[in-house]
Amino acid sequence: MSKNTQYKARSPDADGHIDYPQPEHDIWQALYSRQLGNLSEYACSEYQQGLKDLGLSDNIIPQLKDIDKVLLAMTGWKTAAVPALISFERFFELLANREFPVATFIRSKDEFDYLREPDIFHEVFGHCPLLTNESFAKFSHAYGNLGLSASKEDRVLLARLYWFTVEFGLIRNPDNSLSIYGGGILSSPGETLYAMGPEPQIRPFNLVDVLRTPYRIDIMQPVYYAVDGLSFLDEIVEMDIMGAVAEAKRLGMFAPLYELKTKAG
């Protein structure tokens, strides 16, 4: 995980309250209002219900303690305030404990469309609504336990599973339309419209294929994987995920559908 970041997280006080300056609330409001219209059309129904259940403000950055009250009551989860970047070990540990890491900073205006690292809008607006859903919550917990016990090499492949589900997952509806459940799309106005457009490839979910698919964090995704409903996450939990990891390692990665980075100098 990269250790470079331009952001600094804000720390909660003894009562768990985080004091954000008004310009940061203004950014939350602009992101919220810009994305809400997109989500009424493209977000999956479970996400939209979760957004209502959380009761997020459209003009003030929410307090994590308020989100925790809802999540604990509905699925037994809560948030964990973290710095801008944390280790994979810490990430898996939190998920295994049913704690969702939330970086307590918000992006700058010049990164409205796509942010390379998770901010509070990404984590709270993008992910927390679905943590009210039992299937999503169960999958996230199981994933944390898998990652905690996996080798460093295997974690690289497990990261692809998380990327193409929790972060950039789509749902193929019975009428063949698409809905979004991945928080990386849900929190990105730019990627929401891109993912619903004609450019990217949409593939049916296949566990081994997902584990063989490379990705870059700093571009719009050239390929997404679609599941047949959010409850399909329950089926993934019951799969032999580590056996699929071994098979994906044997077969090797697919050729990337993007330009490879070249080292400067």
187 is annotated as an active-site residue: yes
Across the 265 residues of the chain, what is the mean pLDDT of every consecutive 10-residue run? 70 91 95 89 97 96 97 98 88 98 91 78 96 98 97 97 98 97 92 95 98 94 97 98 98 93 55
Beta strand segments in the chain, E = 78-82, 99-103, 170-172, 178-180, 201-204, 223-227
| 227 and 250 Cβ atoms separated by less than 8 Å | no
**Token digits of residue 35:** 């994305």
What per-residue confidence (pLDDT) applies to 259?
A: 86
**Pick the catalytic residue: 93, 117, 167, 191?**
167
Which residues face 81 on adjacent strands?
102
Q: Spell out the CATH class of 22-251.
A: mainly alpha
What per-residue confidence (pLDDT) applies to 116?
A: 72
122 is annotated as an active-site residue: yes
Which residues face 82 on adjacent strands?
103
Residue 127 annotated as binding site: yes
Q: Is 107 helix (H, G, I), strand (E, B) or coil?
A: coil
**Token digits of residue 226:** 């679609």
**Ramachandran quadrant class, 76 (left: phi over 0; alpha: psi -120 to 50; beta: rest):** left
Closest CA to 223 of 234, 231, 212, 215: 215
State the Cα–Cα distance between residues 177 and 72, nearest whole angstrom.
Answer: 33
**Pick the catalytic residue: 46, 99, 117, 122?**
122
Which residues face 201 on adjacent strands?
223
For residue 182, the tally of other CB atoms under 10 A from its CB is: 28
**CA dist list (Å): 80 to 63, 86, 233, 261:** 11, 12, 23, 33
Residue 141 annotated as binding site: no
Count helices and strands (H / E) in the chain: 12, 6
